[in-house]
Amino acid sequence: MHRLTFNPSRVLVLLLVALIPFSYLELFGIRVITLSVFLFFVLLLISLKKLLSINNNIILFLPPFFLVLMLSIISGSSDFISAVVFFIYLSAFVFFDRVRLKFIINKSCFIYFYGAVFMALGVIVQRFLYERIGYEFGKINIYGGGRVGFGFLWLDYSFLSLYLVSALPLVLNIYKNHYMKIIASSILLLGSVVTTARTGLAALIIATLFVGGLEITKYLAKGKAKKSTLRTLLILFLSSLVVVYFYVEFSNRTVSFDSSGRFHGYYLGFQSFLDSPFLGVMFNRDYFLENYGTIPHNLFVYILSQGGILFFTLFFIWFFYVFYVAAFKVEVFRYPIIITIFGFMFIPSFFSAYFFALLISFCMAEKKAISYSIGK
């Protein structure tokens, strides 16, 4: 009979994963982000006797990580706090050898997915109560043009919509029953739309076009294509159509190519970069807002404006590596990573996206597990 053993490392990593949907909550007066930092260092202490497996993801991330810490300290910015938490989730799986990775990845994927389902149901119920009986709870904002943003437990609607859509491809790995796949997918898609943020919709459509182009190129080069990939591509395409329908029906906004002021934000971001091309504004958000205005809603423009060409170069090397691994070296977390990456073309404040750091950690752990299985 198989004996259940208590492994504190596994338990702590699963707790870190479970905290992702509650990143902005306070439990018993303790901010969840603070709790995440505490759990990470406990995990580090109990793992000191083991050899930590530092992969290229961590090695390439360290230079931009330490640079953002240095620039934030010099400028008096608090962005280094987000960078520290981002790094914690990015390195969550370095504490496990290859033999244990498969178990912990499966459990963490399960928690990440159902965290997204929980958040989707929460935002759907939040909107229903708001519109039907006028009861308000959680994060709600009223904007011009009749738009109402619903965030449930999250502060940023764009991040929430992207988080929900990023969990969509995991439906194929979580469920075997087709009816459950349809139900879970519908909940995630509707939840993303109900936030009224367009980021999830845009990311899903662009990612589908990218993956489709990539697979067509592979087919022309090799003359064959994987059935599983074609099936996933079809699901992403159909999901995009469903999201567009849901968006028109339930978001109080129209589907258009209106930039919502983003192009002006890009201009301001480039202007700040030209004014200080080497180090940017050194992640001093208050200084940027006071002198330039809106934070650029694009990852690369944001990085250029905040850290200049030096930080951008170091960051881009790491970011390209992550994209390369996701696109060509893994299977389960390929599409969640690609969808999220395209979503960052429309939102700022990269280091606040803790769920993306966790996705990258999943991705690198899967890559390690695959290399181990091939080498056996």
pLDDT in tens, 236-271: 677 666 666 655 555 555 555 454 556 777 888 888
The closest of 7, 10, 30, 6 to 18, measured between CA atoms, is 10
Comparison of pLDDT for 21 and 270, the residue scoring more: 270
Cα distances (Å, whole numbers) of residue 127 to 69, 114, 196, 252: 39, 20, 11, 12
Report, as an integer, the average pLDDT of 164-184.
Answer: 88
Counting every residue, how long is the chain?
Answer: 376
332 pLDDT tier (thresholds 50, 70, 90): confident
pLDDT of residue 1: 37
Q: Which percentage of the chain shows pLDDT scores above 70?
A: 71
Handedness of CA 237, 239, 242, 243 (dihedral sign): negative
Q: Looking up tokens 């202490």, which residue turns up?
A: 45
Q: What's the rounded Cα separation, in Å, for the pair 43 and 356?
A: 20
Q: What's the rounded Cα separation, in Å, for the pair 178 and 231?
A: 13
- How does 281-307 read in b/e, with b if 16+ C-beta sit within 10 Å? bbbbbeebeeebbbbbbbbbbbbbbbb
Cα distances (Å, whole numbers) of residue 167 to 9, 174, 189, 282: 24, 10, 10, 33
pLDDT of residue 188: 92
Report, as an integer, the average pLDDT of 171-185.
Answer: 86
pLDDT of residue 293: 79
207 pLDDT tier (thresholds 50, 70, 90): confident
Residue 272 tokens read as: 């700040």
Q: What's the rounded Cα separation, in Å, for the pair 91 and 101?
A: 13
Comparison of pLDDT for 11 and 324, the residue scoring more: 324
Side-chain half-sphere of 341: how many Cα atoms within 13 Å?
23
Q: What's the rounded Cα separation, in Å, for the pair 252 and 247?
A: 8
289 pLDDT tier (thresholds 50, 70, 90): confident
